[in-house]
Structure 1
Amino acid sequence: AKRYPNTTNVSAILFTHSHVDHFGGVLGIVSQQDIERKKIPIIAPAGFIEEATSENIIAGNAMLRRAVYMYGKDLARDEFGHIDTGLGKSPAFGEVSITKPTVLIDRTPTKLNIDGVKFEFQYTPESEAPAELTFYLPEYKAFGGAELVSRNMHNLYTLRGAKVRDALKWSGYIEEARNIFGDADIYFGSH
């Protein structure tokens, strides 16, 4: 595949949270030079860089080793399937990249117009990830729940050693999203 298939259409990059499987391929989509030259906004929750660094670099080696057991990484992957935790398969192989956010979401609601599309952001720190946000597209009545609302509560307690999440705070953000984005007709998550 071509490394940068069509960067002329990239008008913004949105990191919903500080987990490597949600930001680690950014420089496979667009180059850092294009981000800087075109002034492409990089939108992320407040604390994104600190938490991405904390989890993926400082604690990364120990967490990676534990994740081998948690996610069954050493089990066979073949025509009969793959064992996982139900949220998603494993992250893709290859290089991991990151780029510094230029727009930080640090309150609810934060309203932005991104390339003609209206966004309403919900800041949800210390929920599924230490730095996380969700967003609503009011013109489409579509709620992008990141991993705040998924089919499992995979990070309440994780064997890989990530920070233990505050279930009460997390549930409060779910209720807040239900109240402020309650007219949504569409939900989409990131896994």
Structure 2
Amino acid sequence: QLGVSYRSAWLMKHKILEAMRVAEGDRKLDGRIEVDDAYFGGEFCGGKTGRGTDNKVPFVAAVQTSPEGHPLYACLSAQPPTSEAMRAFAARHIAPSATVVSDGLWCFRAATRVGAQHERVVTGGGKASMKLPQFKAVNTLLGNLKTAITGTYHAFDFAKYAHRYLAEFQFRFNRRFDMKTILPRLLQSLLAAPPSPEHWLRTAEVAR
């Protein structure tokens, strides 16, 4: 009976997360956008460090800011930091009139493929790069994201379900200005979402 209860709770949680993902699937950012790559997952003893590290799932975070640098909206995507993946991300989530601000990782130039401007800031890496004012919004978001997930969930399968947990954070972040409407809008998203049977929910995004 405990197993059935756990299964029901898991299904309900992932149906909600999936509805959030669908609701945010076509989010388009415009204006000034800070973008960076990051990773989900724990340390892997003896493995590589930094970009390309073992036992971690890469994702991209993009934050639309006001002209003063205040965060407005965000898009999060579980994907590798490659030019091909960034071209697909830009085509779906970045408006041609946007200006994308990124670090020295060259894949972010793919934003220019959709007509957006690209400003490359060479950070030099390390903790000092996280203090640069050009990336304050995206660095703050990444810190809040990791704190929220590690503080809420003991563990989950990053490789299979990172896309849904990112969507959950994105859904809440993009609706934070009107907290009273979050629950009604979530219910609307659940009603509008396509059917999501258990076998589909348990399939990794990359395998679909």
Q: TM-score, normalised by structure 1?
A: 0.28
Q: Which has the higher contact order (CA 8 A, sep 6+)?
A: 2
TM-score normalised over the length of structure 2: 0.26
User: In proportion to residue count, which structure has more helix?
Assistant: 2
